[in-house]
Amino acid sequence: MRVVVCGAGIGGLSLAHALSRHVEVVVVERDVTAADTGGYRISIDDEACRALGRLLPGALLDEVRSLSDTGSAFEQFTIADSRLRPIVVAPEPAGQDRILAQRQLLRVLLARDITATIRFGSTVRAVSQDQYGAAVTLTDGSVIEGDLVVAADGADSAVVASILGRSPTRDLGLTGIAGWTPLSDASPPGYLRRGPALAFGPDGTGVFLSLHHPPATPTADPLIAGLLGEPALIWGTITRSSRLTPTRDAAAEALVHQATTLLDRWSPWLRERVSHSDASRTAAFRFRAVDPAGPIAGWTPGVVTALGDAIHAMPPTGGRGASTAICDAADLARAVDDHLQGAPLDQVLARYQRRIVPRARSAVRDSLGPVRVINALRHRPARLLARPVLNAAGALGAWRYRDAR
């Protein structure tokens, strides 16, 4: 059996590790190297840590853990105002496993020592299928055939669009700029030492903040040592796309400048840190999401299925996208195992596509909650009430999706 995985992101690479124990796996990725990705940090939750335990070789997972922060760096989540004064501090449940991984590093580790073939610098244009298998056409015109094709190509997936005839996600009208600032000379607000924070400004701009602590154990690999870097503030602004000059293909220095301008009336400490960011680690991305009340993975599977953001994109505001993609990968690996034991492929894929829906809907709903607050704050009456609105939203746990437009 040959499986073609479109996309060497978090979900695609996790799946490729598990499948390549039993079948031939080809991963197709448009980036030129595994390190070509945003430098922000992703939080992998308890369920996804268990899923990684099933997907990855034990030594690789141990290495990921040893180079990442763990639960002790995420004891609480703080909602703050634009002066970085805490409004609500929500403790995280105790006893949960957690990996806080630097995204570039995680991807480099997942792509290293993998048995699957990874074809970097290859962009998928379309996928077709018939009763004999599927064919992936790349933008250079070449075709890769497989018995199963998995769309793991993230939000705005070309593969899913080619089987549905449309994108399952919509642009939420918000753009994030994420960056990284070395923190050697400046002490951050105390609550950041106990976990990340999301700060809201009265103009509807939001900023994610978290601290990066490189591990105490030195590493001999210069690429990994370079990615781990020094203690840093990881920040990410969220604002309406219409407030920014186009960010697509913008130079990293221009993104830092735009982010700094957005924070004109924010905490001077934060503005100063953002203005001194490492431009090489700054990236912009548009927020996309599926409608959590609409169909998710609703197509009848033949030999093409999908995982992660490709089917249920969500904004990063819930910190759930990578964890959900990893859990999907574990469920899909189990479905392929069942097929290898004799169950028909279309049946195991249909079961897989039904199984992942409740988890995806709940993650998308949670992730859209802060987007709703940001959108509410752009209206003048809500701006005047910004602090009481935020207090109420945080205290009532009101990160519930109703209408993210």
**Nearest partner of 233 among 177, 189, 175, judged by Cα:** 189
List 3, 26, 116, 158, residue binding ligand FAD (CB under 6 A): 158
The distance of closest approach from Cβ of residue 237 to ligand FAD in the complex, given in angstroms and rounded to an integer, is 10
Report residue 262: phi and psi, to 5°.
-60, -30
The interface with ligand FAD within residues 166-195 (CB under 6 A) comprises 176, 178
Q: Is 206 in the site for ligand FAD (CB under 6 A)?
A: no
**370 binds ligand FAD, rule: CB under 6 A:** no
Within residues 32-51, the interface with ligand FAD by CB under 6 A covers 38, 40, 42-43
Q: Which is nearer to ligand FAD, 51 or 389 (CB)?
A: 51
Which of 7, 168, 188, 202 binds ligand FAD (CB under 6 A)? It is 7
Stretch that binds ligand FAD, among 73-81, 152-160, 242-250, 252-260 (CB under 6 A): 152-160
- 247 is a contact residue toward ligand FAD (CB under 6 A): no
- Radius of gyration over alpha carbons of the chain, in Å? 21
What is d(CA 279, CA 260) in angstroms, rounded to the nearest whole number?
Answer: 12
Chain position carrying tokens 């970097």: 120
* Alpha-carbon separation of residue 5 from 11, 20, 140, 166 (angstroms): 10, 11, 18, 20
Going by C-beta distance under 8 Å and a sequence separation of 6 or more, which residues neighbour residue 326?
10, 11, 14, 44, 48, 51, 52, 55
Rounded Cα distance between 66 and 187, Å, is 25
Size of the site for ligand FAD (CB under 6 A): 35
Q: Which is nearer to ligand FAD, 152 or 270 (CB)?
A: 152
Q: Is 29 in the site for ligand FAD (CB under 6 A)?
A: yes
Question: In Å, what is the CA distance from 212 to each residue of 85, 178, 230, 306?
Answer: 21, 14, 8, 32
**Interface pick for ligand FAD out of 31, 171, 337, 346 (rule CB under 6 A):** 31
* 308 belongs to the binding site for ligand FAD (CB under 6 A): yes
Among 114, 325, 332, 404, binds ligand FAD (CB under 6 A): 325
> How far apart are alpha carbons 192 and 141 in whole angstroms?
49
Nearer to ligand FAD, 45 or 81 (CB): 45
Q: Where are the alpha helices (DSSP H) in 207-267?
A: 222-228, 252-262
Contact set with ligand FAD (CB under 6 A): 6-12, 28-31, 38, 40, 42-43, 123-124, 152-154, 158, 176, 178, 236, 285, 308-310, 316, 319-323, 325
